Homo-oligomer: A and B are copies of this chain.
Amino acid sequence: MVNPDNVADVAALYERIYLIRRVEEEIIRIYPTDKVKSPVHLSIGQESVSVGVCSNLRSQDIVYATYRGHAAYLAKGGNLNKMFAELYGKVGGFASGKAGSMHLGDIDAGMIGTSAIVSTSIPLAVGNALAMRMQGRDVVTVVFFGEGATDEGVYHESLNFASLKKLPILFVCENNFYAIYSHVRDRMPDANICERANAYRIPAKKIEGGDIFAICNAARDSLAAINAGEGPQFLECMTYRWRDHVGPGEDRHIEYRPDSELDRWIKDDQVARLAGMLDAATRDKIESSTNSRIAAAETAAEESPFPDPEIMYTNVYQ
């Protein structure tokens, strides 16, 4: 159990969440230079979900996530250098630039490449859990997705099957209320996501406010239940995206959501919250080492070459 009174616990969480926040701030800074010539879907504001859940994972556990996957990738222990190089479209990336921000993933870090088609990774994660069961491997699969993904039929088929087979998988819905500019109330008669999961006989818990400690602890309980053979578990983590759906910008001018709503979530920023729980020295140490790592990753990405045309033709077939 993550203990808010335990400095080591807090520092570990802060180190992870600060890294993610800073990486995305760097992306915002760099973006206008056109170095990242690809859509980016930032997690800023939502980091506590990935960090809270992944803080409970072991290296052998497997994560599936979405095109909004920077946070999950880094929370799962992804390689920063490979990530920057991938964003820059360079050979130093884990996929030599073939993937980019929307298909982040790295088998070494236990995160499989993400999909830009909403909801389509969910059954793959279920298949991963099935394979782990068949192989008798002690691996839990975690799949992150937005509340928008729960609209899709394949989501339902996936939950039904996972529950039918009692597979070792944790479903994590990052409910940020919106799918692009569309509010969940315009897509569901009632945003009763947990109740719907229950209808598949999957125990589900809703965590309000993005509270990182609550998320950590709920994930720990869910993982324990999975390890106890109780089958799939479900977490609905309420959260909020601060930036525009895609790209580095803010989006207040679009007026699809009330400023006050965004402001309330910014006030509850979990990064600031954790920072405030640490003494200045601990914080500085984490921050400066993180910033050096990021700077180094950027430099390495800069220096890595673009792939030659021949690279295009490799790995179409395996």
Is A108 in contact with chain B by the CB < 8 A criterion?
A: no
Docked Cα-Cα span, A153 to B151, in Å, equals 10
Q: Tell me whether B188 and A199 are in contact (CB under 8 A).
A: no
Any chain B CB within 8 A of the CB of A154?
yes
Q: Is A124 engaged at the interface, CB distance under 8 Å to the other chain?
A: no
Residue A201 interfacial (CB < 8 Å): yes
Residues of B within 8 A of A30 (CB): none
Q: How many copies does the complex hold?
A: 2
User: Any chain B CB within 8 A of the CB of A164?
Assistant: yes
> Which residue on B lies nearest to A157, using beta carbons?
B153
Interface assignment of A264: CB less than 8 Å from any CB of chain B: no
Interface readout for A119-163 with B: 1 if CB under 8 Å, 0 if not?
A: 000000000000000000000000000000001111111001001
Cross-interface CB contact of A195 among B164, B190, B199, cutoff 8 Å: B199
Which B residues are in CB contact (< 8 Å) with A306?
Answer: none
Interface residues on A, range: 20 to 34
Q: Contacting A196 at CB < 8 Å: which of B152, B157, B187, B199?
A: B199
A200 interfacial contact with B, CB 8 Å: yes
A164's nearest neighbour on chain B, judged by CB, is B189
Q: Is A59 an interface residue (CB 8 A)?
A: no
What separation, in Å, do the CA atoms of A164 and B187 have in the docked complex? 7
* List of B residues within 8 angstroms of A189 by Cβ: 160, 163-164, 200-201
- Complex CA gap A189/B160 in Å reads 7
A81→B162 CA distance, assembly (Å): 48
- Does any Cβ of B come within 8 Å of A192's Cβ? yes
Taking the nearest CB of chain B, how far is it from the CB of A148, in angstroms?
Answer: 12
Q: Determine the residue in chain B with the shortest Cβ distance to A196.
A: B199
- Docked Cα-Cα span, A192 to B198, in Å, equals 11
> In the assembled complex, which residues on chain B have CB atoms less than 8 Å from the CB atom of A201?
189-190, 192
A 2-45 to B, binary, CB cutoff 8 A, 1 in contact else 0: 00000000000000000000000000000000000000000000
Which of A152, A155, A163, A200 has the most chain B CB atoms closer than 10 A to its own CB?
Answer: A200
Name the distance in Å between A187's Cβ and chain B's nearest Cβ.
7
A199 partner residues in chain B, CB cutoff 8 A: 192, 195-196, 198-199
Q: CA separation between A221 and B257, bound complex, in Å?
A: 40
Known: A189-B201, A199-B195, A200-B189. A160 touches B151 (CB 8 A): yes
